[in-house]
Structure 1
Amino acid sequence: MSSSITNTGASAALKILSHNQYKTPRLLPTSLDPSPLVQFNKWLSGALDPVAAGEEEGTPKVHEPEAMTLGTATKEGVPSSRVVLLKEVDPTGFLFFTNYSSRKSLELAANPNASLAFYWRETSRQVRVVGRAEKLTRAESDAYFQSRPRGSRLGAWASEQSTVIGEHTLEERVKEIEQRFGTDPDGKVDCPENWGGWRIIPDEVEFWSGQPSRLHDRFRYLRNKTPAADGAVWNINRLSP
């Protein structure tokens, strides 16, 4: 592996010249689960605890593998992206939680098409997801909200996420919320009505495994729009690197 940066002046273009060679265990059709959600859980388990997951000896743990780039778009199609944290993969999709008044939530409400991207540098793996968003039920959102640290629960009340704010406004709001709910560390903090979870239900999932000379392994799952003759829910194909 070698890399360098060239910059010939303050007004010149900054060029990054890198030649990282990736080498991961080959990704083969026989190793793929018929469900991309199950396959993702296998990879996530390996990222969290490679030894327990039976990964190749010497495979490193991934730092914060639940971090994912969420892509949304306005009704007019103007995109935006940010990193959020995956909290669960259920039999239907990928779950995360946020303020329903935030930019991402407003965009998902207006345009439910969304994308996710995971990049695990330590293991040279990527997962890309395209799907549609749906809100979780209040019961599901409240159950997760109550599992959060008390400070995070109070913060959800104090923050009007994505809005312009004064320099000391947030600190003042936090104090007001603390007074409202008291100082008992075990005291209940209700889940705000404008806070909750989203589920991204995938229609497309791609698994990418880095290989030497940029000849990477790529497999894409596409949801069958009509029932397949063999009953398969997903169509799986290798993609050219």
Structure 2
Amino acid sequence: MSLAPGVVRDSIIECFLRLGREASIEEITNAVYLKIGEISKSSVRSYLSLNTPGLFERVDRGVYRLNGDAGITPSLDLTSSPKAVGKSTIFFDDAIEWLKRQKDNSIHAVVTDPPYGLVEYTKQQTEKLRAGKGGIWRKPPSFDGHKRAPLPRFTVLREEDLRNISLFFKELSSQVERVVVPGGNIVIASNPLLSHIVADARPGAVPSPPPLRRRTPPCP
């Protein structure tokens, strides 16, 4: 699997920022796996070694933390102030609650990749993902000799799950539309099986017609 430059680095840094402490290679690998998909422990170990003592510090056998001299603060919680990472500022917060605190027409663009079905990142489902034992996550067959990362199987969502998705995106879209300047760009990643729900959730959108159901012919 080919990854864009910096993806592994950013995922490891995000792991430390969320934990706010040192972490074992096992913990880091699991966090990176959930973020970007299939990755070996040896790849994570190599990346940590190559960037120590620049970005990371080795505090024990197989245990690392962010280097305080690198200008990245490892402690990041809901009550902390925004953190600078390079030229970016990270806010660790509930996205909708953060948007509610922003002024109208104050943001020029939004690019977001929210959880499509919401249920795939619940504690129960992420535990099944790590264990490789069922749940909503399924690993597609290998393609052209390459292993593929697990993907959520949205065909198993219940009616209640679909209603929750609609409510979530209605609230998200109403806040995003409010804060983005007129003419600004809004890009929301979605999935073909759920994109109609995301589109219908936009304020003022015309609801889609219900899906056609095949009628069973009467018995002769």
Q: Same fold (TM over 0.5)?
A: no
Q: Which has the higher strand share?
A: 1
Asked which structure has the greater RCO (Cα within 8 Å, sep 6+), the reply is 1
- Give the TM-score, by structure 1 length: 0.22
- Give the TM-score, by structure 2 length: 0.24
